[in-house]
Amino acid sequence: MSTERKVVLTCAQPTGNLHIGNYLGAIRNWAELLDDYECYFGIVDMHAITVPYVPAELRRSSLDTLALYVACGLDPERCRLFLQSHVTGHTELAWILGCVTPLGQLERMTQFKDKARRQGERVNAGLLYYPVLMAADILLYNADLVPVGEDQKQHVELCRDIAHKFNNTYSETFRLPDVYVPSTGARIRSLQDPERKMSKSDDNTNGALYLLDEPRVLRKKIMSAVTDSGSEIVAREDKPGVTNLLTIWSAATGRPIAELEEACRGLSGYAPFKELVADAVVSLLEPIQLRYKALAEDKSRLESIIAQGAEAAQKRAWRTLSKVTRKTGFVERPRK
Ligand code: TYM
């Protein structure tokens, strides 16, 4: 019987600051997989250049994201944390996969359509190709499981289609990865526009609770969150603002939404409710912020985590890449 552990791969973009949606919908759940899976967690700096950005800020936020990964519980001794641009293979595999991916399927991706609509004429080809690079991130590690928030589910499904197409074209090579979306916290919405997801790239920074916001800022944003008409504190479709706050509170504390609704019965108005949500968010994020501060100042520790992660990730990536290039019909690279 094989004792090999199944492989988990997932990533986040280092654009801007990570927010509580990234934590509750993604990173926190990754930390629970460390004991049972061989885990690879990437920081996808190459995806981050598909939208306008400032190079110096990308460099800084890539390191910040790494420090936050560790502060959120991704122990580098028990998983591999790596920067996408440090591992040879992501873009090489993306090119090969792109050649078996129908163009129409990329044009139909919801996230591409949204971003393309917003960017108009300025939209670049990288944005269209983005899901192929994401498929390469996953398949390069031959991952069994990909934990993501709701918004990335479509991209993982496309990755399965691409893997299937490659296997059919060239013979069995890739496992078809399963997607795992958490039951609570998979879609945290903007505090200012609860019809939309909380997003790093939102122009209105009051809509997002960033992991590194000071407690007073977190409180202020929650107190000024958009709520709905009426005064009932219940999770219901016609009350997206209140539902979002209840979801955050529930995901932050592990208490079911029904129990929280019950606890709010008798409160007068939304203000005391928001204060309870703020208390829960501050207690959740304070320990993460303390751990982040200690690590962000320790440059040599960060450098050693990066080096160790890149080496382990590269080792697995080479294995897949050489198999794929052989199957694709490329002549074997000369050995040094
Ligand atoms: P990114 O950087 O936007 O988000 C990182 C993770 O956070 C989840 N997430 C959310 N969850 C709940 N509520 C929200 N408001 C919210 N916003 C974001 C995302 O679903 C994701 O799990 N394309 C990916 C990065 C990527 C990737 C990959 C992921 C590149 N290659 C390979 C998995 C596997 C992205 O932009 O995630």
Residue ranges around ligand 1 (CB below 6 Å): 10-13, 21-22, 25-26, 44, 47, 134, 137-138, 146, 148-149, 151-152, 155, 185-188, 197-198
pLDDT at 203: 77
Secondary element (H or E) of residue 9: strand 7-12
Q: Are residues 312 and 288 in the same domain?
A: no
Residue 192 domain-assigned (yes or no): no
pLDDT at 121: 81
Segment 155-159 long-range contacts (CB within 8 Å, at least 24 positions apart): 155/109, 155/111, 155/131, 158/101, 158/105, 158/109, 158/131, 159/131, 159/134, 159/135
Q: Are residues 129 and 28 in the same domain?
A: yes
Residue 200 domain-assigned (yes or no): no
Q: How far is CA 85 from CA 70, 88, 108, 323, in A?
A: 19, 7, 27, 21
pLDDT at 204: 85
Q: 150 alpha carbon to ligand 1 midpoint, in Å?
A: 9
Would you call 42 helix, strand, or coil by DSSP?
strand
Q: Are residues 97 and 168 in the same domain?
A: yes
Q: Are residues 93 and 159 in the same domain?
A: yes
The span from the CA of 217 to the CA of 213, in Å, is 6
Q: Are residues 43 and 175 in the same domain?
A: yes
pLDDT at 75: 97
Q: Are residues 14 and 150 in the same domain?
A: yes
Q: Atom 7 in ligand 1: which residue has the minimum CA distance?
A: 22
The range of the structural domain enclosing residue 45 comes to: 7-185+299-327
Residue 197 domain-assigned (yes or no): no
Residue 2 domain-assigned (yes or no): no
pLDDT at 120: 83
CATH label of the domain that carries residue 286: 1.10.240.10
The span from the CA of 196 to the CA of 118, in Å, is 14
Residue 177 domain-assigned (yes or no): yes
Q: Are residues 11 and 142 in the same domain?
A: yes
Per the CB < 8 A criterion, the answer to whether 162 and 132 are in contact is yes
Active site amino acids? 115, 197, 200
Q: Per-residue confidence of the chain (336 residues) as pLDDT tens digits?
A: 556 899 999 999 997 789 999 999 899 999 999 999 999 999 999 999 998 899 999 999 999 999 999 999 999 999 999 999 999 999 999 999 999 999 999 999 999 999 888 888 888 999 999 999 999 999 999 999 999 989 999 999 999 999 999 999 999 999 999 999 987 777 899 999 999 999 887 778 899 999 999 999 999 999 999 998 888 999 999 999 999 999 999 999 999 999 999 999 989 889 999 999 999 999 999 999 999 999 998 999 999 999 999 999 999 999 999 999 999 999 988 877
Residue 24 domain-assigned (yes or no): yes
**Total structural domains within the chain:** 2
Can you tell me which atom of ligand 1 is nearest the CA of 44? 30
pLDDT at 228: 84
pLDDT at 158: 98
Q: 238 alpha carbon to ligand 1 midpoint, in Å?
A: 27
pLDDT at 105: 96
Can you tell me which atom of ligand 1 is nearest the CA of 138? 32
Per the CB < 8 A criterion, the answer to whether 136 and 91 are in contact is yes
pLDDT at 186: 77
pLDDT at 3: 67
Q: How far is CA 155 from CA 8, 23, 128, 134, in A?
A: 16, 19, 12, 8
Query: What region does 74 belong to: left with phi over 0, alpha with psi -120 to 50, or beta?
Result: beta
Q: Are residues 72 and 170 in the same domain?
A: yes
Can you tell me which atom of ligand 1 is nearest the CA of 131? 23
